[in-house]
Structure 1
Amino acid sequence: MDLPDAIRKRLEDFSRNVLFDQSGTRTVARENDTFLPHDKRLLSSLHLQMSLYFNMWFFPLWWISEAVMLHLKYPALPDYYKFILVTVLILMTLIEAIRLFLGYSGNLQEQVPELAGFWLLSILLQFPLILFQLFNEAILIQPLERGVHIVLAIFILAQALSGFVTLRDMVRHTGRQFHLRQFD
């Protein structure tokens, strides 16, 4: 059974305008129909984007449960831990909002500086803070807190790993593009 002519023509036009090379990356044709290999490779990471998306929806749940647990155990904590935990909650809220924004924009727009900032915030600030809340028994960790801290730590660790791989690929691609442009 043959395809109707209108559908066949559209498929032929599509196949002329989009070229798939051997690595499976997509290269888009320019207006003058010249094809440059690896001109418009898609470098953003689906794994990272999915993790950021689910983290964005999980973080308010984490924040509410953390605030409620802090309110419940606040009278039983020593004064210095009261100050530390309130400070950590405020810092983690600010860092997480900035981190998720940088992750989204760095991954979707394939921007190396934003993705590098996201990765550094994940590794240097957010991961140590969540580990402090997860493993410091002196802050009277409740079962709900332990559960949401484990989930957030897994999100942060997965995003740090996939963010590193994506960042490495983007930097390599940018370097190759720079060297190719020297010959133009």
Structure 2
Amino acid sequence: MLRRAPELPRSVNDRLNRLATSVFTSIDANDYKRGNNFQSKPTRIEIDYSSSLPLQMLLYFNVCFFPCWLFSLTFVLPILATSAKNYPAILMVFAFLFKAIIEFIRLYLGYAGNLAERMPELTAFCLLTIIFQIPLSIFLLVYSVITNADKEMQLALVFAVEIIYVTFLLLEAIFGIYAVRIMVTAQSSRFHYRQFEEALPANDFASPSG
């Protein structure tokens, strides 16, 4: 039996929830106060499921590609760092190590947030992607292009794997933000829908006026 993935601390959850609601979405509360929006069956199905299939597909292929990226740069960057001609490449090594550590956390948060429909984890996934991973990948990509004047095979390999990773990150950022917006809307819909269902029995047992 699969165990439920551990959740983030409560204080972190609350801050990420507020961040997702204020930054990634703009919800009009009046849209959820109309009772007709929660009575039809198609609307209930839309409320029940808010995971993003495109984002999950991107995460799956990213997890498959991550070992290839990790092996390629683990083999190449130490050679560049120890080369007297490419001594500034030590910056690439630090960027690679930092990116690799964050990537383990980011992919876990993406899976947990999307599959389990956890908005804080998915928000943290988007923040790590936009703030850290995309700039680090662009740095590795641009550095390999700038210093590739001598057409070294090592830098060509760095460019090849990073251009694929940048594509993954950009698509995941787009679909991740869209998934957060859908998830915020879905959670608000569930809350107002429960209020609507709880109000129905009270209206049924209420005495008729007059």
TM range (shorter): 0.7 to 0.9
Could you list the runs of 5+ residues in structure 1 that have no partner in the other structure?
A: 1-19, 24-36
Post-superposition shift, 1:90?
1.3
Contact 2:78 2:93 in 1 (8 A): no
Alignment-derived partner of residue 74 in structure 2: 67
| Aligned counterpart, 1:156 | 169
For the residues of structure 2 that align with 1:89 and 1:139, how far apart are their CA atoms? 17
1:180 counterpart = 2:193:
yes
C-alpha displacement of 1:77: 2.1
Structure 1 window deviating more from structure 2 (57-66 vs 141-150): it is 141-150
The TM-score with structure 1 as length reference comes to: 0.74
68-77 vs 115-124, which moves further: 68-77
Q: What is the distance in 1 between the residues matched to 2:65 and 2:191?
A: 39
Shift of 1:138: 4.9
Letter in structure 2 aligned against 1:160 = A
For residue 87 of structure 1, report the CA deviation from its aligned partner.
Answer: 1.6
Matched, 1:93 2:100: yes
Task: Give the number of the structure with larger relative contact order, counting CA–CA contacts within 8 Å between residues 6 or more apart.
Answer: 2
Aligned to 1:58: 65
CA-CA distance at 1:71 after TM superposition? 2.5
| 2:50 matches 1:43 | yes
Give the whole-Å Cα distance in 2 for the aligned partners of 1:139 and 1:180.
58
CA distance in 2, matches of 1:38, 1:57: 32
Cα distance, 1:113 vs. partner? 0.2
In 1, Cα distance between equivalents of 2:80 and 2:56: 35
Equivalents in 1 of 2:53, 2:170: separation in Å?
16
Aligned residue pair count: 150
Aligned CA-pair RMSD: 2.1
User: 1:98 corresponds to which letter in structure 2?
Assistant: I
Distance in 2 separating the partners of 1:50 and 1:101: 14
Give a deviation string over 1:8-62, Cα, whole Å, max 9, x none.
Answer: xxxxxxxxxxxx9446xxxxxxxxxxxxx34862211111111101111101111
After TM superposition, the structure 1 stretch with the greater mean CA deviation from structure 2, 129-138 or 95-104, is: 129-138
CA distance in 2, matches of 1:73, 1:181: 59
Higher helix share: 2
Amino acid at match of 1:143: A
Structure 2 Cα separation of the partners of residues 61 and 41 of structure 1: 36
- What code does the residue aligned with 2:107 have? L
Aligned to 1:77: 86
Give aligned-pair identity as a percent.
Answer: 37
Query: Alpha-carbon deviation of 1:92?
Result: 0.7
Paired AA for residue 70 in structure 2? W
